[in-house]
Amino acid sequence: MSEKTKKILVVSSYAPPSIGGPQMLYNLLKDFPADSYSVLTSYYNIDDISAAKGTWLAGEYVFYDNPKGSKEARKAEAGMADKKRGLSGKVQKLKLIMKRISFVRVLAGMPVILAQVFAIVRSGRKAVKKFQSEIILGISDYGPAVLGSYVLHKITGRPLYLFMFDLYKGNFFPFPGGLLATLFEKKIFKSARLIIVNNEGTRNFYQKFYGEEISKKIVIVHNSIFPETYQSPARAAKKNSPPYTILFTGRVNWPQLGAIKNLVEAVNGMDDVIFKLYSPMPKEHINNIGIFESKKVQFSFAPPQDMPKVQSEADILFLPLSWRTQSQAIIDTATPGKLTDYLIAGKPMLVHAPASSFLVKYATENNFASVVAEENIESLRQAIRKLISDEKFARELVDNAQVTFERNHDANKSAAIFRKIFSL
């Protein structure tokens, strides 16, 4: 990287090496000089497998919920036996309990969210001074990072930039996250110097909601990965015999849950198809939300660096968004991070999501996936059968996915756009 950049304090509740959005952030920052940015994040939100096996950014990490923690300490802790792993596992279990029990969520939500905001501001002030940060980059999460970045901006006078991987207001947050988003989003957006979003659907949503005043601040940086990561693994050959495998990789939360259950029902009625779910979430959590292992449904997990190989071994890559969820706005504007992986993976994609979603519109316009935009199990089965039996159709989708990736999702191009935003 030749051009110099302003020093950035990245504020995010989730950061690399965690999977999902943090991986997109990693791809954008990996070639920045290590002293040009620092990361203010949660020590305990980085799961053990990612901490031990994932790839950390080269820049300095500051943990607002464990100020004495370090990258090295988190790696070492993650490498210990389960019973010695410290708070991370307990925190994850507590969060899952809060999600399942509404009374607990409401009772515990206020002090948990506000305590995180205060911790972000407290640690952030020290980080701005220590690293001489010139810009505060707040990353959308379940509330604390966006609000904490805003308060930090007000206190320090540093310009506020936002990166909205998902919507803030209108999302489904633990109490009082949704209330705080409703109260503060417009103020935060007005204070921001620039707002980065990852697709045209989100930009159009904000343009319609806030008008030109906010729209003119928006820059699109698509979710992206480096194609080289998918060029090195050997691609598995297309199977000529069953069982055929449908694969989903990633977290299972309310946006995906209903559509995944539809797929499970569809697969249970097909003798020659199985569903593999690769997720870092505890099996207990997946069971509690109504998905169970069987001969037709298999659970597993692999670190991000193994995903190219895992995805190449599937026959169909499944990308779900659900109907009748807690936030239709999220469903309609989301571009799941795993879409980027799927586009370059070399296997046909099956999108199962509402017709109103940007994902369905994007897939249809670019013809890179078989799309089932209705909650119809038989339609799902027909789409699966066509992807398995019609090699010409599947090949066309894969080729179009490659073209779409090269146009919008190559991290070499996205990183250049991102660098330009922060260049001196």
**CATH class entry, domain 8-221:** alpha beta
What number is the average pLDDT over the span 42-51? 89
* Contact of 238 with 307, CB cutoff 8 Å: no
Q: Name the band, by pLDDT with cuts 50, 70 and 90, for residue 297.
A: very high
Separation between Cα atoms, residue 103 and residue 123, nearest integer Å:
30
| Among 182, 210, 183, CA closest to 195 | 210
Each residue's pLDDT tens digit, 19-31: 778 989 999 999 9
- Asked whether the predicted pLDDT for residue 1 surpasses 80, the reply is no
Q: Do the domains 228-409 and 8-221 match in fold?
A: yes
Per-residue model confidence (pLDDT) at position 105: 47
Given this model, what pLDDT does residue 2 score?
55
Q: Which of 16-25, 102-111, 295-304 has the lowest mean pLDDT?
A: 102-111
pLDDT class for 383, splitting at 50, 70, 90? very high
Q: Residue 50 in contact with residue 280, Cβ under 8 Å?
A: yes
Q: Where are the domains of the chain?
A: 8-221, 228-409
Q: Looking at residue 240, what is its pLDDT?
A: 63
Q: Which fold has domain 228-409?
A: Rossmann fold (3.40.50)
What is the structure's pLDDT at 351?
99
Q: Which has the higher per-residue pLDDT, 50 or 346?
A: 346
- CA angle 96/285/168 to nearest 5° reads 50
Report the range of poorest mean pLDDT among 85-99, 128-142, 389-403: 85-99
Mean pLDDT score, 171-196:
92
Q: How do residues 67-82 score in pLDDT, each as one tens digit?
A: 999 999 999 998 774 4
The model's pLDDT over 332-360, given as tens digits with 9 standing for 90+, comes to: 999 998 999 999 999 999 999 999 999 99
Mean pLDDT throughout 95-102?
Answer: 48
Ranges 100-109, 239-248, 385-394, most confident: 385-394
At residue 17 the predicted structure's pLDDT band, cuts being 50, 70 and 90, is: very high
Mean pLDDT (the chain) is 90
